């Protein structure tokens, strides 16, 4: 039975934006739907669950290692729930939970996201969305810079500029607006989409096998 129901107020989790901003995902409908509806999720795949357990263990180890290094260097460190934020707009709320928010008087604020997988442009956008949001919530007026912590090292995130800020605002308006964007199903995106009741989901790839009819 479909239990999806409209939210009383639009709600956006920061990571719903990042791959769209990076151009790695193209289905804006997915983010729009999550923003507007409380939805049934696709049941967990046991094989995927095992993968995520391993990924989570590696991710958590990265976070704890970096947090310990920062504390040893006299940073005040907030990890995950301690650094979460919510930015309230006229029509929607934007929320998120950075892996690490570190503060030191002579350095300002450092926002860090840890990634146990391969490097992606969306990793940088995730930190930019966090920086944009934190500057409008509990870190107003602070100088904020960002980094991505990978298993093989750290990469600095470019400074949040006017262009990036405008793109974040435009993305928020697109997924919180009243008009639903068209769904853009693809094999890869639909494979990882957790919206169970999507009528546009990419069919099994065997459904798309064709017959050349002897042409080659």
pLDDT, tens digit (0-9, with 9 covering 90-100), for 80-94: 899 999 999 998 999
Report yes or no on 216 lying in a domain. no
Tokens for 143? 């100088």
- Sequence-ordered list of residues with C-beta below 8 angstroms from that of 213, at least 6 positions apart, any chain: none
What is the rounded average pLDDT for all residues in the chain?
92
Whether residue 213 lies inside any domain: the answer is no
pLDDT at 216: 63
pLDDT for 208 beyond 60: no
Residue 89 lies in a domain: yes
Cα distance between residue 17 and residue 22, in whole Å: 9
Distance CA(56)–CA(189), nearest Å, equals: 21
Range of the domain at 20: 5-201
From CA 177, how far away is CA 215, in angstroms rounded?
48
pLDDT at 105 over 80: yes
Is 107 a member of any domain?
Answer: yes
Nearest to 94 by CA among 166, 10, 162: 10
- Mean pLDDT confidence for 143-155: 96
Q: For residues 34 and 195, what is the distance between their CA atoms, to the nearest angstrom?
A: 8
* Tens of pLDDT, residues 117-130: 899 999 999 999 99
With cut-offs at 50, 70 and 90, classify the pLDDT of residue 209: low
Establish if 211 belongs to a structural domain. Answer: no
- pLDDT mean over 96-123: 96
User: Domain of 180: which CATH number?
Assistant: 3.90.320
Total domains, the chain: 1
Domain contains 206: no
């Amino acid at each position: 039975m479909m239990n999806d129901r409209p939210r009383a107020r639009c709600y956006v989790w920061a990571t719903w934006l990042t791959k769209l901003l990076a151009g790695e995902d193209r289905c804006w409908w997915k983010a729009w739907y999550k923003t507007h509806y409380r939805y049934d999720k696709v049941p967990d795949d046991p094989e995927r669950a095992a993968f995520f357990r391993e990924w989570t263990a590696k991710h958590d180890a990265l976070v704890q290692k970096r947090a310990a290094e920062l504390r040893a260097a006299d940073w005040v460190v907030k990890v995950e729930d301690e650094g979460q934020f919510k930015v309230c707009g006229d029509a929607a709320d934007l929320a998120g939970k950075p892996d690490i928010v570190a503060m030191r008087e002579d350095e300002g604020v450092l926002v860090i996201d840890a990634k146990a997988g391969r490097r992606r442009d969306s990793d940088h956008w995730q930190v930019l969305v966090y920086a944009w949001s934190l500057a409008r919530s509990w870190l107003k007026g602070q100088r904020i810079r960002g980094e991505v912590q990978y298993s093989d090292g750290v990469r600095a995130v470019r400074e949040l500029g006017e262009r990036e800020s405008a793109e974040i605002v435009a993305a928020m308006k697109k997924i919180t607006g009243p008009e639903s964007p068209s769904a853009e199903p693809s094999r890869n995106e639909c494979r990882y989409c957790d919206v169970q009741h999507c009528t546009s989901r990419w069919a099994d790839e065997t459904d798309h096998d064709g017959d050349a009819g002897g042409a080659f």
